[in-house]
Chain A
Amino acid sequence: MQYEFLSRPAMTAAKLTLDAGESITCEVGAMIAMSRGFTVETTSRNKGGSGGFVKGLKRMFAGENFFLNHFTATNHAQSLIIGPAMLGDIIHYPMTGGTLVVQGSSWLASSSGVEIDATFQGIGKALFSGEGIFWVKCSGTGDLMLNSFGAIHCVEVNGEYVVDSGHIVAFEDTLEFHLGKAGKSLIGSFLGGEGLVCKFSGQGKLYFQSHNPPSFGKLLGPKLKPH
């Protein structure tokens, strides 16, 4: 598969070129346009993989759709244009056997060699962070496309690093993480608006986004007509 990013960085779309037999799994609704030579299959699990219903259910909790669309090229050099719902960027992450933990709404697409699994990190953590700490675990080999709300930034963590949980896009699972408070005291952290943050330790890549969808949502919410 070849890929090209168009109209970066705020209105980014990814143009993927697939050869006959190659297959890509996308978030439902991600397809913008495509060549004629594709067949599309909608399932609740990885293509040809196991898991089925339970994994589908887990994905739904992870902020992803229950269903996945698999696009398989039936001819050579077929192109597929995909994009996320929100304004922001897309990056490519090559999977080489390691595991990447992706924030639920940041997963956009992956090639067929990548296994997607929603893992639940424990309800206590989710409640305290208030950001919906649900993650999609990606492993295997192949291509992974991640999207962000706003710009995307990569940090090679070596030691310790702190990120507001709503800004995390993805991190390599060689990094350990736990939730902590941003300031010295709990009250001070909340007054400062930072709430609880993710503290990473170890060595690995960490991707985060410049904007935080829940913060934007909270800004918009009061201005919208109640339902």
Chain B
Amino acid sequence: MIQFECPSCQKRYQVGDELAGKQAKCRDCGQVMPIPAAAEVAEEDPVILASLAAPPSPRSSAKTLFGTTPELSYEISQRPDFALVSIKLQAGGKILSEPSAMVSMTPSVKLEAGLKGGLGKTFGKLLGGESMITNTFTAENESGEIMFAGGSAGDVAYQRLEGQTLYLQRGAYMLNTEGVEVTGKWQGAKGFFGGEGLVLLKASGVGDLFFNSYGAILEVDVKDGFIVDSGYIVAFEESLDYHVTVLPGLRTGGKIKSLFFGGEGLVCEFSGAGRVWIQTRQVRSFLSWSNAFRPAKSN
């Protein structure tokens, strides 16, 4: 038996010795790879033998996302841990980003920083946990490529907007094309009780939208209702109704128990039809863990 891993997605395979040297295509990610010669396992090393004997673990099947739209072509690679977005613009093409998301770019791309969309919108974005400054990247005389990444380790999701509206959680906004308008939206008590700030970002229009998270992003198509811990929501479509509540079973008489002891706090219950994007980790949990290691102030 030959054991090997896909060099792209690390899926493990086991094939017969007769296939050594042949080409194989990964079932998960499509990567074409040569099958290595049968490896010799040193019998005197019990640790290596033991780890091979353990059941092979299914690895991440996260795929590179890519596509072409009227505005640009994109590729999101290295998902979900260290998502890297490559944007290719035609001459004259433009993309707007949050500050400091740019990793690299070709010399044909010009960067301009400024307040976009007037003071009102800018202020709304600020409330939505985003910077007032928007960076505009323009491929001036020839096509160009720009690479972007989020501030923390994590994933990037893409959504094409064709007139529908998406709500983004604080800090999730990353990139958009000119046809998409991103503003802050007052959510009143709804947002407040969710514990995640008062304002959601609202993205609408026609164009491309990219947003990021700490942790991997899971897409859920809601049909029969769905409950998400408010701290794990990245984005959701406007077609969904949502309300902030406590976990079912703790609704009557158990509210206090749930809030203060149950730790799950308040959750968002979605109903209707539409998509929700959720993240698998929270910066807040990491921060509260690291808080235990803060030094005490010395006098």
Contact = CB atoms under 8 A, between A and B. Distances in A.
A191 interface: no
B23 interface: no
A163 to B, nearest CB: 11
A57 interface: no
A5 interface: yes
A36 B263 contact: no
B196 interface: no
B298 interface: yes
B258 A40 contact: yes
A217 interface: yes
B58 A32 contact: no
Interface in B219-244: 220, 224-229, 232
B218 A224 contact: no
A39 B249 contact: yes
A10 interface: yes
Nearest to A32: B232
B262 A42 contact: yes
Interface string B43-55: 0001100110110
B272 to A, nearest CB: 13
B293 A42 contact: no
A11 B262 contact: no
Contact of A81 (B51, B249, B278): B278
B191 interface: no
B154 A36 contact: no
B263 A6 contact: no
B69 interface: no
A197 to B, nearest CB: 15
Contacts of B50: 154-158
B281 A87 contact: yes
Given A33-B278, A221-B295, A42 B216 contact: no
B196 to A, nearest CB: 14
Q: How many interface residues does chain A have, given as a range? A: 35 or more
A31 B80 contact: no
Interface stretch (B34-42, B96-104, B284-292): B284-292
A38 interface: yes
A33 B51 contact: no
A40 B255 CA distance: 11
Contacts of A158: 46, 50
A217 B261 CA distance: 26
A33 B292 contact: no
Contacts of B280: 6-7, 11-13, 32, 81, 83
A193 interface: no
Given A8-B60, A155-B51, A34 B155 contact: no
B299 to A, nearest CB: 11
Contacts of B154: 11
Nearest to B247: A40
A41 B81 CA distance: 33
Contacts of A222: 295
Closest 8 pairs between A and B when the two form their complex, measured CB to CB: A39-B249, A7-B216, A28-B263, A85-B285, A221-B293, A11-B216, A217-B293, A13-B280
Interface of A: 5-13, 28-29, 31-36, 38-42, 65-67, 69, 72, 81, 83, 85-87, 91, 153-159, 213, 217-218, 220-222, 224-227
